[in-house]
């Protein structure tokens, strides 16, 4: 069920009402769990089978880990991680590896692999499952002070893995941060103003910016791009950068605002990433919940930066490559991750061996930020275009289409719908640079204006980009 559909608003209203009815208050947990199952199974009930299995085995492993006299905790922890990764690999990557090693059609015995549908949200709820078993192994007593009955653990695990605001596309929430929040919620404690502002900004980014840009950036693909000038092609790259930010940041904000309505706090997922002046900073600001998950559950267990520079480079490269592949079952996503990994490695190497620092002024800060943004935007081509060949053709067209006439109407609309994203980031930069001079709260009139634009200027409804991952 899409957040930007009429059906979702009806679903949300009914769920919210039942959740806070006084005579149903003791069934709050059951209410939101049942609503989350309905939300996930709305278009395809068969998806529930795998999700229920994921909840069952992760809860069972946590139950064993949290049993004081159980001796084989490390073994069941390993089993839990392997189960989660095996399911993710089978449903998401078996077709990719079969195609790579067996050819496009595979052998006659394995052709069925190409027909396996990708369960929506599997990347996110698998990461939740891993976080759950690892966190309870590491700090179980800090999360649950006493033994939790198995039925209650199943219900709480269902909420953590299946909580509908973040189920399909995040933010990824660590178990140690979510489970302590599971308790009875009161209507009077809802942060209405904060939730409303977050939701308005989220829907503005998604429906007004991302959806309108989506209606324009389709020409970035072949054969449409072959007929546009270099200027148009450059603006399309930047327009898609604005679109993917608005789409994913919009989804995250809607998820965070919706969770507030039910008394739960989800982590911030974007912190003005396009003002980053280096690539490390970009990954501290972009998809923060994924970056921190990869750091805590992959980079640090691999040794992080504690075992010398060479191991640090290997760990960083491996984490970014796997993080890229996590986004999609195509090699171009891994190459996208490798591209970011190489940029991080080069940046780290130069900082350690050639500690030359540019003067700290606005001009050089702008140059560094512009270079990071340009690099990130070019790498987004691997996200938007279907294969390497098309991406390479696009880069060649930047040089060969100099003499073509420019579609000024398309360029004008690309700039018009991209500008709010860059103004938003400028506000973030100014707020961080001069906090004492910046109003912490945008006026209510500003949010009312955004709401006005949502009603009058939303684009054709489109699925969230990260649904495919």
Q: Which residues are catalytic?
A: 327
Our CA angle for 303, 331, 228, nearest 5°, is 125
Q: Provide the terminal-to-terminal Cα distance of the chain, rounded to the nearest Å.
A: 16
Handedness of CA 428, 434, 435, 441 (dihedral sign): negative
Instruction: From 4, 1, 149, 70, select the one nearest 454 (Cα to Cα).
Output: 4
Cα 389 to Cα 22: distance, rounded to the nearest angstrom: 60
Cα 97 to Cα 90: distance, rounded to the nearest angstrom: 10
Own/partner pairs for 84-91, CB < 8 Å, 24+ apart? 84/54, 84/58, 84/126, 84/129, 84/130, 84/133, 85/126, 85/130, 87/50, 87/53, 87/54, 87/122, 87/126, 88/122, 88/123, 88/126, 90/116, 91/50, 91/116, 91/118, 91/119, 91/122
121 touches 36 (CB < 8 A) = no
Structure tokens at 361: 């002024």
Alpha helices for 331-462 (secondary structure H): 331-353, 362-379, 381-384, 388-400, 408-433, 444-457
Cα 269 to Cα 167: distance, rounded to the nearest angstrom: 14
Cα 278 to Cα 273: distance, rounded to the nearest angstrom: 10
Structure tokens at 301: 């267990």
| Residue 204 DSSP code | I
């Amino acid at each position: 069920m899409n957040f930007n559909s009429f059906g979702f608003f009806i679903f949300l209203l009914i769920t919210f009402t039942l959740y806070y009815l006084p005579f149903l208050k003791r069934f709050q947990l059951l209410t939101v769990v049942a609503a989350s199952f309905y939300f996930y199974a709305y278009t395809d009930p068969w998806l529930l089978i795998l999700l229920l299995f994921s909840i069952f085995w992760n809860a069972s492993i946590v139950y064993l880990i949290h049993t004081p006299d159980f001796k084989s905790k490390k073994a069941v922890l390993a089993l839990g991680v392997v189960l989660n990764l095996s399911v993710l690999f089978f449903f998401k990557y078996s077709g990719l590896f079969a195609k790579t090693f067996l050819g496009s059609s595979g052998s006659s015995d394995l052709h069925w692999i190409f027909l396996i549908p990708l369960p929506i949200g599997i990347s996110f709820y698998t990461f939740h499952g891993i976080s759950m078993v690892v966190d309870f192994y590491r700090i179980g007593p800090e999360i649950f002070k006493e033994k939790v009955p198995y039925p209650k653990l199943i219900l709480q695990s269902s909420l953590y893995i299946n909580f509908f605001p973040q189920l399909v596309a995040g933010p990824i929430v660590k178990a140690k941060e979510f489970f302590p929040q599971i308790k009875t919620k009161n209507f009077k404690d809802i942060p209405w103003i904060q939730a409303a502002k977050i939701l308005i900004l989220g829907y503005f980014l998604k429906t007004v910016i991302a959806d309108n840009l989506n209606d324009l950036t389709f020409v970035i693909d072949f054969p449409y791009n072959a007929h546009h000038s270099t200027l148009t092609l450059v603006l399309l790259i930047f327009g898609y950068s604005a679109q993917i930010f608005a789409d994913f940041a919009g989804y995250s904000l809607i998820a965070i605002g919706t969770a507030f309505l039910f008394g739960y706090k989800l982590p911030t997922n974007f912190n003005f990433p396009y003002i980053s002046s280096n690539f490390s900073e970009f990954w501290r600001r972009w998809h923060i919940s994924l970056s921190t998950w990869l750091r805590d559950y992959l980079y640090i267990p691999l040794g992080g930066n504690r075992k010398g520079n060479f191991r640090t480079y290997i760990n960083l490269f491996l984490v970014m490559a796997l993080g890229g592949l996590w986004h999609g079952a195509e090699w171009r996503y891994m190459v996208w991750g490798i591209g970011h990994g190489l940029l991080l490695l080069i940046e780290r190497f130069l900082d350690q061996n050639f500690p030359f620092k540019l003067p700290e002024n606005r001009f050089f800060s702008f140059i560094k930020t512009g270079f990071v943004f340009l690099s990130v935007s070019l790498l987004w081509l691997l996200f938007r275009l279907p294969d390497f060949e098309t991406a390479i053709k696009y880069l060649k067209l930047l040089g060969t289409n100099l003499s073509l006439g420019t579609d000024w109407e398309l360029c004008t609309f690309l700039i018009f719908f991209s500008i709010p994203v860059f103004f938003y980031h400028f506000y973030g930069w100014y707020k961080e640079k001069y906090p004492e001079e910046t109003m912490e709260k945008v006026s209510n009139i500003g949010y009312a204006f955004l709401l006005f634009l949502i009603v009058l200027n939303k684009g054709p409804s489109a699925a969230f980009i990260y649904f495919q991952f």
